[in-house]
Structure 1
Amino acid sequence: MALFSTAYLEITYDADRHVLVAKWLRGVMPFELHRGYHALLEAAVEHDCRFWLLDVRRRAGIDSADILWTLNDFLPLVQPRLKRTTYLAFLMLPHHLAGDLSDGRVPDSAYYDNRPYRNERFTDAEPALEWLQHCQKHETVAR
């Protein structure tokens, strides 16, 4: 059952894995991106879920303004609401991932080291879900 559903985004909660799944259905306008990410945060608060699978495979190319908004405006809102580290697994098409890795505007994984959120990029859902489950287990052991 979708927690949020529009023509551009569907958010579901996988209770068995304790993962929020946000599936972008097409490219979006900035206001849609903002609305979608805020809906994701509200769903995360509602389900006390800090493990997110963000499927961006249908979003062709991501604008640098979107990246800056996500990094500078949205992500700083997450930790005060969820209180602990949030893990974001981005599911991407291989050529988008390759472009991301070569684009100087997109921070590499080390950027997230001292922040209250972690970000990894994947081209297949299974390794993405395995990473999220590993993060869950690591947090359980660390407590």
Structure 2
Amino acid sequence: MDAFSTAYLDVTYDEEIQVLIGRWKRGVMPFELQQGYAAILDIAAEKDCRFWLLDIRRRTGVDASDVFWMMEDFFPRLHPRLGSTTYMALLMAPHHLAGALSNIGLASNNAPQGQPYLIQRFTEEAPALAWLERCLQQGSVER
């Protein structure tokens, strides 16, 4: 599977920059969030790609139970499937980023200590891709 497309999410792998790109197109229900992230992980595993740009600017409808699912179910599946640190650049609307940074539980850009993923938040795509490129250069040494 090279790509995944639904009414709520497009996922592609950019061979040239070696980045998986997921673009959420609208608000989602919990089952859509879970199906979407399962597709992202499946494509990432197929492409052996640990560098993701996730455009969540249009995604709404995510609540505390969805965050709990991400932390307790989805994130623990990353390392077994991908074998090393996964780097996620989240492309967010400025007001969503401000809200996330004001929430003490979400304020840290880094993963909790000892977790095999690293999350960085951005409001513009160019800096997000530049960060992923730096991570890719460092990550190829890590493996």
Corresponding residue number in structure 2 for 1:53: 53
Give me the whole-angstrom Cα distance separating, in 2, the residues matched to 1:131 and 1:116. 17
Distance 1:111 1:13, change over 3 A: closer
The answer to whether the Cα contact below 8 Å between 1:64 and 1:105 also exists between their aligned partners in 2 is no
The DSSP-based 3-state class of the residue aligned with 2:60 is coil
* Percentage of identical aligned residues: 52
Q: CA RMSD in A?
A: 1.7
Corresponding residue number in structure 2 for 1:66: 66
Matched, 1:14 2:14: yes
Corresponding residue number in structure 2 for 1:30: 30
| Matched length | 143
Q: TM-score, normalized by length of structure 2?
A: 0.93
Give me the whole-angstrom Cα distance separating, in 2, the residues matched to 1:68 and 1:107. 16
Give me the whole-angstrom Cα distance separating, in 1, the residues matched to 2:4 and 2:60. 21
Structure 2 unaligned runs (5+)? none
Query: Residues 31-110 of structure 1: matches in 2 within 5 Å?
Result: 31-60=31-60, 62-106=62-106, 108-110=108-110
Matched, 1:122 2:122: yes
Give me the whole-angstrom Cα distance separating, in 1, the residues matched to 2:85 and 2:33. 22
Structure 1 unaligned runs (5+)? none
Q: TM-score, normalized by length of structure 1?
A: 0.93
The answer to whether the Cα contact below 8 Å between 1:112 and 1:119 also exists between their aligned partners in 2 is no
